[in-house]
Chains A and B, each alone.
Chain A
């Protein structure tokens, strides 16, 4: 899978409307964006309370073409183009969720979670708790993360750690089309607010998706590659970075196990700890900033759970603690790569 795509390769305009098949024959290879599209369409067919709201989700199908074809099938009453007001959209979504609907709110760039934080953290995350369990907010917020698109400091951030820090929210980071489809369907059916975050660089990533319906439960990590010598825990597109590092390590005779937690909240601590106990070494790779982030949380889970089995300290690779630069030569230094994770693993095993 090509990790480095220029912004120009992600089409922002297309006049073709994607047909959504209503039945599929056998497993197919589809892109992550098609997988998300299928999950949305299937849940909207199944449950009339599911609707979409967001900027350019209708005729434009979002800049990433994820929602193409949905307004044609479900109409403008259920696929709502909104003004550019993330706080407004999320407030509409939350109110609808509290009164019987299952909205899917599209926040085009995860950077603008900043504008959604009050509705999300002070309201959505707490309504079930503060009403003594009488109210709930089955709201799904779909948004994005990921650098390397030359989109500069305000359109490249990976802010998933912020929402993972608020009890009451569930946080999902799919890396493959299969995971994206099964987890999004679970997110929409969940009675809690779920923040579902896709990497912008992964929309064209292809993978096999079965024809029959399936759901993936939250809190189940997936072993993307089995190994014996070192555990690499990686989230979202960093799974591909970890797999590239595992290939490089294999050439040196080192066997790396790559584990994708798939959901940060709830987190499958059991699988992570068991793998670290087996290999005795662990690296955590995540595209959020390294400071006060996901890598620190997961590293401490492993250190606490597998301490007496570890041969070396748990190491971390995250985004450099600087705003994401625009210049390609600067931006490329700020995110983990297959080579940098390989080097980290070599230091651990040396």
Chain B
């Protein structure tokens, strides 16, 4: 397997125990996570990953704030972009 999905298929998919075990998820996160392996093998300094994490978190938070502050679209937009 090349890719492992840590989270649910959708936001409500919280209790995944009926289709895969929590131990399996833990095993992937703790010993097979490629990002963690990069740090463990000294290929990337932990500080560099923390910087990237912070950058991404800030970008996402800014996006969420922009969306929450934005007005709803005008009602007239309902017919837009149906045809080019």
A residues whose Cβ falls under 8 Å from a Cβ of B: 11-13, 15, 59-60, 63, 320-323, 325, 327-330, 333-334
Contacts and interface: CB of A to CB of B under 8 A. Distances in A.
Contacts of B78: 320, 322, 325, 330, 333-334
Given A325-B78, A334-B78, 14 more contacts: A12-B11, A13-B13, A15-B15, A59-B18, A59-B19, A321-B82, A322-B78, A322-B79, A327-B72, A327-B77, A329-B72, A329-B73, A330-B77, A330-B78
A182 B75 CA distance: 41
Contacts of B75: 329-330, 333
Give chain B's interface residue range (CB within 8 Å of chain A).
10 to 19
B13 A323 contact: no
Contacts of B14: 13
B42 interface: no
Contacts of B12: 11-13, 63
A29 B22 CA distance: 39
B51 interface: no
Contacts of B19: 59
Contact of B15 (A13, A327, A330, A334): A13
26 contacts: A11-B12, A12-B10, A12-B11, A12-B12, A12-B13, A13-B13, A13-B15, A15-B15, A59-B19, A320-B78, A321-B82, A322-B78, A323-B82, A325-B78, A327-B72, A327-B73, A327-B77, A328-B72, A329-B72, A329-B73, A329-B75, A330-B73, A330-B75, A330-B77, A333-B75, A333-B78
Q: What 8 A-B pairs come out closest when comparing CB atoms?
A: A12-B12, A59-B18, A329-B72, A330-B78, A322-B82, A333-B78, A13-B12, A13-B14
A16 B75 CA distance: 41
Contacts of B77: 327, 330
Interface in B18-49: 18-19
A71 to B, nearest CB: 10
Query: Which of A323, A329, A334 has the most C-beta atoms of chain B within 10 angstroms of its own C-beta?
Result: A329
A318 to B, nearest CB: 15
A80 to B, nearest CB: 14
B35 to A, nearest CB: 27
Nearest to A11: B12
A323 B13 CA distance: 27
B80 to A, nearest CB: 9
A116 to B, nearest CB: 20
B73 A60 contact: no
Contacts of A327: 72-73, 77
Nearest to A327: B73
A172 to B, nearest CB: 28
Contacts of A322: 78-79, 82
Nearest to B19: A59
Contacts of B73: 327, 329-330
A66 to B, nearest CB: 15
| Max chain A Cβ within 10 angstroms of own Cβ: one of B11, B14, B18 | B18
Nearest to A61: B18
Contacts of A328: 72
A25 to B, nearest CB: 33
Contacts of A333: 75, 78
Which of A11, A12, A320 is most buried by chain B, counting CB atoms within 10 A of its CB? A12
A334 B72 CA distance: 16
A328 B18 CA distance: 34
A327 B10 CA distance: 19
A60 B18 CA distance: 8
Contacts of B13: 12-13
Contacts of A321: 82
